[in-house]
Amino acid sequence: MELLSDQGLRLDGRRPEELRNIRCKLGVFSQADGSAYLEQGNTKVLATVYGPHQPRGQSRNKAPHDQVFVNCQYSMAVFSTGERKRRPRGDRKSQEMSIHLRQALVAAIRTELYPRSQLDIFVEVLQADGGNYCACVNAATLALVDAGVGMREYAVACSASLANGEVALVDVSHLEESSGGSNLTVATLPVSGQVALMEMSQRFHSDHLPKVLERAIEGCKDIHQILDGAVRKHVEETGRASGWGQVDRAGIAL
Amino acid sequence: MLTTKTFLRKTKRGNILKIVREHYLRDDIWCGSSLCKNCSLKEKDKVLDKEVISNVSSVFSFPHYLVLDTNVVLHQIDVLEEDVLENVIILQTVLEEVKHRSSPVYRRLKDIIENPNRKFYIFVNEHHKDTYVERKPGETANDRNDRAIRVATSWYATHLSGSQPKAKNKHVSMVLLTDDADNCQKAKAEGLIASTVYDYVKSLQDAPTLLDKLSKKDGVFEGGSKEPLFPLHLSPKEIQDGLKAGKLHQGTFLASRENFLEGSVNVEGFEKFILVQGHAGLNRAVDGDTVALELLPESDWVAPSDIVLEDSEDDPGDILDEEVKMEKEKAKAKKVEREPTGRVVGIIRRKWRQYCGILLPSQDKNSVRHLFVPAERKIPKIRIETRQAEKLKSQRIIVAIDAWPRTSRYPLGHFVRALGNVGDKDTENEVLLLEHDVPHSKFSDQVLSFLPKLPWIITEEDYAKRVDLRGLTICSVDPVGCTDIDDALHCRELENGNYEVGVHIADVSHFIRPGNALDKEAALRATTVYLVDKRIDMVPELLSSNLCSLRGNVERFAFSCIWEITKNAEIVNTKFHKSVICSKAALTYGEAQAKIDDKNLNDDVAKSLRGLNSLAKILKKRRIENGALVLASPEIRFQVDSETHDPIEVVAKKMLETNSMVEEFMLLANISVAEKIFQEFPDCAMLRRHPQPPPSNFDPLIKAGNLQGFEINVESGKQLAESLDLALKPENPYFNTMLRIMATRCMMQAVYFASGMLQKEEFAHYGLACPIYTHFTSPIRRYADIIVHRLLAACIGADSTYADLLDKRKSHSLCHNLNYRNRMAQYAGRASVNLHTHLFFRNRVQDEQGYVLYVRKNALQVLIPKYGLEGTLYLAPPKGQVAKVNFTYNEEEQSQSYGSIKFRVFDPVTVQLSLDRTNVQHEKLMLLLVKPEIPDFSVPSQAAADEAMDVDQVKDTAAPSQPPSKRQRKSK
Ligand SMILES: [Zn+2]
């Protein structure tokens, strides 16, 4: 399958450097301390944050005394893919995703602010259409912001792959992911330009890696813009309703 | 803008899946016209002319762009390929449908689009916000696409109208070409200008020959009977139901070479091919088609006819005959010989392609309907319409089949292009390349762009990555005139008394990176094809003859396989490296042999060669003890005139000790590499296997052996090899060679495969008697070796893998192509030898010693060792003539006798060879019997007729009528 036509369009009509449509909303649940819903194309995820709170159960032993214990859980709804999923959580894939999710988020959260406490982050994929991990990181960031958890900056993730052996594509859809080529996923802290996680489904040839990576990082920066816009809008709206009107409360001065 | 496409799809397990995909609509897709003032087009995207002077039509006498419907591209690609139609808009809808329906047509369309002179513009209508159409409930996909095409056409008309004057003779309009009546009608109703291709092409003013190229898809030809000649084909639905119910069988139809009214169908699950006979039985199936077959009741089964039946040379019109003769034959068939017989009831998939051949002009001077005779006998004649018959009748032409209606005796087709005059060597070469589907066009600029830039220099970095073997005494040994040297060898004695032996193979995979255009082209070509006077390279010459070729005294990259071997040729260890080598000498087999034999010579090269030679002898002996077969096929070489390139002498290829020396080490390297890559990549290693033939394959060999009093044991390769060694006849020294030739024909083809697709027991190579084998040693001329190099490089960490390399299904389909191309390359090579044999005999009549290889019902198959060729000596006269001499065929004994003279398999005969040029367009090698003499049948020997020869030759060309009873043909 040709991922990129001679006219420079991808299978879904995007150009190589174009993201899918991103729509997001903060504060979708009132029960949780923080929540966010995010759509990246047809990939739809829901993230909720509880805490920081006293460590409970087993994690009481795990929690380090000088920083917050971050507990991440990734799951996929049974209806998230075309064929119904048998095990929505706890399978190897989900466990791996949880670990990777935690790695990216811990890099952004100011863990030292909440010693001896625990932070629970639950992310559920409602509909999967490629870039599940990226959407989860991005949604979790919004939920953390909504919860008012102190962060260095946003954690933003984006994927990229290679079309026709030469052109790097940003924000890979499921169709593109499954066409056989290798995919790269990065989670970054886009302002400082740090990379929190990088993963490849297969090896890239060393000639191509730099441009694919660059494209993914560019994508992170673009997504950062969108997320930041959404946060500001959300704060403005909620602020207006409750009379705050200040941005600082959210703990982000970006 | 955004919309979503939702559709349902069935998974492999039969579940219904709902698939939702995003589909972005854009406002930055431009129209591609130079006259547009609304789009922000870059200069290079202005494909369509501002002032349209092309496509001058008497009906559409105003400037216009053309929009094509899918059916036009699919069926009239030959018309589009002509440099006539310009300023054409190809919609994405059309492009994708074509890609989906026929990849060859898609590739040809892409080639046209890439030619800037043709001004073909691709408009991505599916992603344009104004031209995207959603499928309505109840609308078929086809109707939706037709609508999309009309919407885009009308969008263009409105879009461009703002940018140009209103006057009709200046105003560029849109003309939609479609052969779909419904679409055409709807378009006209919507106010669009639409036309069928036929009407449009007919109205063109300066392209009269374009009409010849129109596809006759709907089977409209003037005249002709309208009585159906063939039974109706079943509908796809009926076929599906029949297959499910087990009443019908699906299989590939293979036409017989000898009898145009006979063929067989290869049905999975049946041990034997199923026979089909007669016009009705074949029911318009053409060689290669996938057909639906109905098995006849056992009482109606017949035996394959033993006769050679050619379709008559003249045009009988739309009537069927010839079956009478076969009917008679059938009645005689004994019950035992009867085979499962069936009849074709429907066509599941056509495998029509373009065919080379010649025109058989109609008797009627004014007619435009003519018959086309394909070069390949398995293909029926094709009826075409052309107005250039006079010009084409002496040329080789290409024709495509369009349809085969029930009312027509022959399939209908159209003229595609002419190749050149019949008998021209270049034309004939072109024919055989086309016939064997050998890709032989020049390498495209895109492919060439991936070649290394010259001057090519080895950098420090390269040396650092590779093992430096420049100090070793490496040399190459190849045939005379070889410029693509892909292997070199070395051998030296180690201090511990063992030998170090290295096989160094050109590092082609260093230059050909996976997935680029160069790699794709090489993968498509799969192999270099060697013709007698020409080589069609798999990779561009810069690589094949220069950078990859391991020439003497230049530094080259190699992939080295190095063993430590004891004096008894036991391998102690094996190593693989990427290396830099500098070959000390590029020798021919003869030169190397001379160096070995010259006792006074004691330089490093000679010592190295002697070491190799002594080890090779041990290796070979061991291999043969293991049961490796020594087979024979007559190999000959033409000595070619250096200027005209016409063959002047034929010599049999000589085998020297050094040939087998090189061969042994190549085998050893291939086996070592096969083991290594299989160990590392058990799932996706590319290997080569040679299956053991089913016992029934050997029947003719056993029978022939028995008749001569030898028992041929075929239970295993080893036993076969032994019994072949024992079968010697002192009075007939060529007997053993012939047996080996026969044995070779009983063999299966060796094939490439991906290790994950088979069980390990099936890997074995029967001919070489080894459990695992691959091809590593000729990457310049075989693509399989490139893949093996990449796998091996990944094993030793010298290179990275890529997705397709590790995907066993991708490897499997790659193997499929490699096997196909290899087979075709082999056939093309043989055809080339045949062609040169014909050229050689053009001005010659020669008596030669031959041997009977097979005895047929009406002919003897004779092998002439000197030329390595096989010909048919016909014993029965052609149809319609009375034989003066009647031979008696004894099937049990495999003999033909007349009076006291008896022909049996392996019997020597003397035959007169000459070229039958009576039919200017179809030259045939003719065999006439000289000895044993049979009055009224044999011809006088050349020696006796020496004086008469000149006269004879003159007669040959001037009065092409041979005595009818002696007309004999050579079968291909
Ligand atoms: Zn325009």
Minimum distance, in Å, between the CA of residue B802 and any CA atom of chain A: 7
Give me the pLDDT at residue A141, please. 95
For residue A105, pLDDT over 90 is answered with yes
Residue A220, helix vs strand vs coil: helix
Q: How far is the CA of B184 from the centre of ligand 1 (A)?
A: 25
Give the mean model confidence (pLDDT) for residues B375-402.
Answer: 85
What are the tens digits of pLDDT across the range B315-371?
A: 556 655 555 555 555 545 455 567 888 888 888 888 888 888 888 877 777 777 888
Task: Report the residue from B11, B21, B810 with minimal CB separation from A12.
Answer: B21
What are the tens digits of pLDDT across the range B773-827?
A: 999 999 999 999 999 999 999 888 888 777 778 877 888 889 999 999 999 998 8
CB contact under 8 A, B124 and A41: no
- Written in H, E and C, the secondary structure of B924-951 is EEEEEEEECCCCCCCCCCCCCCHHHHHH
Give me the pLDDT at residue B749, please. 85
Give the mean model confidence (pLDDT) for residues A13-20.
Answer: 90
Minimum distance, in Å, between the CA of residue B18 and any CA atom of chain A: 6
Structure letter (DSSP) for residue B209: G
Token pair recorded at residue A209: 């890696």
Ligand 1 ion: nearby residues, β-carbon < 5 Å: B 31, 36, 38-39
Whether residue B863 contacts residue B853, with contact meaning beta carbons closer than 8 Å, is answered with yes
Cβ contacts of B122 on chain A, cutoff 8 Å: 6-7
CB contact under 8 A, A206 and B25: no
Token pair recorded at residue B443: 């390498």
Structure letter (DSSP) for residue B872: E
Q: How far is the CA of B125 from the centre of ligand 1 (A)?
A: 13
**Torsion angles phi and psi, residue A239, rounded to 5:** -60, -45
CB contact under 8 A, A20 and B22: yes
Nearest residue to B171 (alpha-carbon basis) of B292, B19, B33: B33
Give me the pLDDT at residue B946, please. 53
Whether residue B172 contacts residue B92, with contact meaning beta carbons closer than 8 Å, is answered with no
Give me the pLDDT at residue B454, please. 80
What domains does chain A contain, in order, with CATH numbers? 17-242 (3.30.230.70)
Peptide bond into B878 cis (omega under 30): no
- Which site among B2, B24, B120, B131 would you substitute to test the A interface, given the most A Cβ atoms closer than 10 Å to its Cβ? B24
Cβ contacts of A82 on chain B, cutoff 8 Å: 17-19
Q: How far is the CA of B35 from the centre of ligand 1 (A)?
A: 8
List alpha helices for B751-905, DSSP H: 783-795, 808-840
Cβ contacts of A165 on chain B, cutoff 8 Å: 514-516
CB contact under 8 A, B800 and A203: yes
Task: Report the residue from B17, B25, B802 with minimal CB separation from A205.
Answer: B802
Q: Determine the residue of chain B that is closest to A176 in CA distance.
A: B21
Give the mean model confidence (pLDDT) for residues B259-265.
Answer: 83
> What ranges make up the beta strands (E) of A128-178?
156-163, 167-170
Cβ contacts of B17 on chain A, cutoff 8 Å: 82-83
Give me the pLDDT at residue B15, please. 64
ipTM of the complex: 0.86
Give the mean model confidence (pLDDT) for residues B225-236.
Answer: 77
Top mean-pLDDT range of B445-449, B508-512, B649-653, B838-842: B508-512
Q: Determine the residue of chain A that is closest to B45 in CA distance.
A: A7
Nearest residue to A68 (alpha-carbon basis) of A18, A12, A118, A10: A118
CB contact under 8 A, A82 and B17: yes
Give me the pLDDT at residue B956, please. 37
Distance CA B753, CA B818 (A): 10
Q: Determine the residue of chain A that is closest to B22 in CA distance.
A: A12
Q: For chain B, list residues whose CB is within 8 angstroms of any CB belonging to chain A.
A: 2, 4, 11, 15, 17-26, 29, 92, 122, 124, 126-127, 513-516, 800-804, 807, 810
What domains does chain B contain, in order, with CATH numbers? 2-213 (3.40.50.1010), 236-309+336-349 (2.40.50.690), 354-435 (2.40.50.700), 451-683+773-824 (no CATH), 843-953 (2.40.50.140)
